[in-house]
Amino acid sequence: EAGVAQSPRYKIIEKRQSVAFWCNPISGHATLYWYQQILGQGPKLLIQFQNNGVVDDSQLPKDRFSAERLKGVDSTLKIQPAKLEDSAVYLCASSLERDQPQHFGDGTRLSIL
Protein backbone atom coordinates (compact mmCIF):
# COMPACT_ATOMS: atom_id res chain seq x y z
CA GLU A 1 0.00 0.00 0.00
CA ALA A 2 1.14 3.55 -0.67
CA GLY A 3 2.22 5.39 2.45
CA VAL A 4 1.24 8.79 3.80
CA ALA A 5 2.34 11.47 1.36
CA GLN A 6 3.36 14.96 2.45
CA SER A 7 4.54 18.02 0.58
CA PRO A 8 6.65 20.02 0.45
CA ARG A 9 9.60 18.23 2.08
CA TYR A 10 11.32 21.48 2.99
CA LYS A 11 10.16 25.07 3.35
CA ILE A 12 12.05 28.21 4.31
CA ILE A 13 10.14 31.40 4.99
CA GLU A 14 10.60 34.63 6.88
CA LYS A 15 8.75 35.37 10.10
CA ARG A 16 5.29 36.82 9.67
CA GLN A 17 4.86 35.07 6.30
CA SER A 18 2.31 32.33 5.78
CA VAL A 19 2.88 28.71 4.83
CA ALA A 20 0.76 25.66 4.05
CA PHE A 21 1.46 21.94 4.22
CA TRP A 22 -0.40 19.18 2.45
CA CYS A 23 -1.03 15.59 3.47
CA ASN A 24 -2.57 12.65 1.64
CA PRO A 25 -3.27 9.76 4.03
CA ILE A 26 -3.30 6.06 3.27
CA SER A 27 -6.41 5.16 1.30
CA GLY A 28 -9.29 4.19 3.55
CA HIS A 29 -7.81 5.62 6.73
CA ALA A 30 -10.48 7.51 8.61
CA THR A 31 -8.27 9.21 11.16
CA LEU A 32 -5.66 11.82 10.29
CA TYR A 33 -3.21 13.55 12.63
CA TRP A 34 -0.87 16.53 12.40
CA TYR A 35 2.12 16.61 14.72
CA GLN A 36 4.78 19.22 15.39
CA GLN A 37 8.27 17.95 16.18
CA ILE A 38 10.71 20.54 17.45
CA LEU A 39 14.40 19.62 17.28
CA GLY A 40 15.38 17.35 20.16
CA GLN A 41 11.81 16.58 21.17
CA GLY A 42 9.23 13.94 20.41
CA PRO A 43 6.26 14.66 18.15
CA LYS A 44 3.45 16.68 19.71
CA LEU A 45 -0.11 16.29 18.46
CA LEU A 46 -1.59 19.48 17.01
CA ILE A 47 -4.89 18.25 15.62
CA GLN A 48 -6.75 15.00 15.00
CA PHE A 49 -9.47 14.45 12.40
CA GLN A 50 -11.99 11.63 12.20
CA ASN A 51 -13.13 11.69 8.57
CA ASN A 52 -13.74 15.42 8.01
CA GLY A 53 -14.51 16.31 11.62
CA VAL A 54 -12.09 17.58 14.27
CA VAL A 55 -11.70 15.22 17.23
CA ASP A 56 -8.99 17.05 19.17
CA ASP A 57 -7.37 20.41 18.51
CA SER A 58 -6.58 21.30 22.11
CA GLN A 59 -2.88 21.89 21.40
CA LEU A 60 -3.32 23.80 18.15
CA PRO A 61 -2.36 27.50 18.50
CA LYS A 62 -5.57 28.68 16.91
CA ASP A 63 -4.54 32.30 16.64
CA ARG A 64 -2.08 31.36 13.90
CA PHE A 65 -2.58 27.71 12.96
CA SER A 66 -5.50 26.28 11.03
CA ALA A 67 -6.19 22.89 9.47
CA GLU A 68 -8.90 21.36 7.37
CA ARG A 69 -9.88 18.04 5.88
CA LEU A 70 -12.84 19.06 3.81
CA LYS A 71 -13.67 15.82 1.96
CA GLY A 72 -12.38 13.48 4.64
CA VAL A 73 -9.28 12.55 2.65
CA ASP A 74 -6.50 15.11 2.04
CA SER A 75 -5.65 17.67 4.66
CA THR A 76 -3.86 21.01 4.77
CA LEU A 77 -2.22 22.70 7.74
CA LYS A 78 -1.61 26.44 7.57
CA ILE A 79 0.42 28.84 9.65
CA GLN A 80 -0.31 32.55 9.35
CA PRO A 81 1.68 34.51 10.43
CA ALA A 82 4.71 32.34 11.20
CA LYS A 83 6.89 32.94 14.25
CA LEU A 84 10.48 31.88 14.84
CA GLU A 85 9.36 29.24 17.34
CA ASP A 86 7.34 27.49 14.61
CA SER A 87 10.57 26.10 13.14
CA ALA A 88 10.03 22.35 13.32
CA VAL A 89 9.19 19.24 11.35
CA TYR A 90 5.47 18.89 10.71
CA LEU A 91 4.39 15.28 10.53
CA CYS A 92 1.17 13.89 9.17
CA ALA A 93 -0.05 10.46 10.21
CA SER A 94 -3.11 8.38 9.49
CA SER A 95 -4.75 5.29 10.95
CA LEU A 96 -7.60 3.03 9.95
CA GLU A 97 -9.51 4.06 13.04
CA ARG A 98 -8.67 6.05 16.17
CA ASP A 99 -7.22 3.22 18.24
CA GLN A 100 -5.28 1.60 15.39
CA PRO A 101 -1.52 2.03 14.78
CA GLN A 102 -0.57 5.31 13.18
CA HIS A 103 1.41 5.49 9.94
CA PHE A 104 3.61 8.53 9.46
CA GLY A 105 4.67 10.54 6.44
CA ASP A 106 8.18 11.86 5.85
CA GLY A 107 7.28 15.25 7.27
CA THR A 108 7.86 18.84 6.17
CA ARG A 109 10.86 20.60 7.64
CA LEU A 110 10.00 24.26 8.20
CA SER A 111 12.67 26.87 8.84
CA ILE A 112 11.71 30.40 9.84
CA LEU A 113 14.28 33.13 9.22
Partner 1 sequence: AQRVTQPEKLLSVFKGAPVELKCNYSYSGSPELFWYVQYSRQRLQLLLRHISRESIKGFTADLNKGETSFHLKKPFAQEEDSAMYYCALLYNQGGKLIFGQGTELSVKP
List residues binding partner 1 (CB under 8 A): 3-4, 31, 33, 40-45, 48, 55-56, 91, 95, 97-107
For residue 19, give the 3-state DSSP assignment. strand
**How far, in Å, CA of 103 to CA of 26, rounded?**
8
**Amino acid identity of 3?**
G
Residue number with CB closer to partner 1 (82 or 94): 94
Q: How far is the CB of 46 from partner 1 (least distance, A)?
A: 11
Q: How far is the CB of 110 from partner 1 (least distance, A)?
A: 17
Q: How far is the CB of 99 from partner 1 (least distance, A)?
A: 5
Tell how strand 65-68 and strand 19-24 pair up. unpaired
Cis peptide before 101 (omega within 30 of 0): no
Residue number with CB closer to partner 1 (80 or 100): 100
Residue number with CB closer to partner 1 (44 or 62): 44
Phi/psi for 47 (5° steps) reads -155, 145
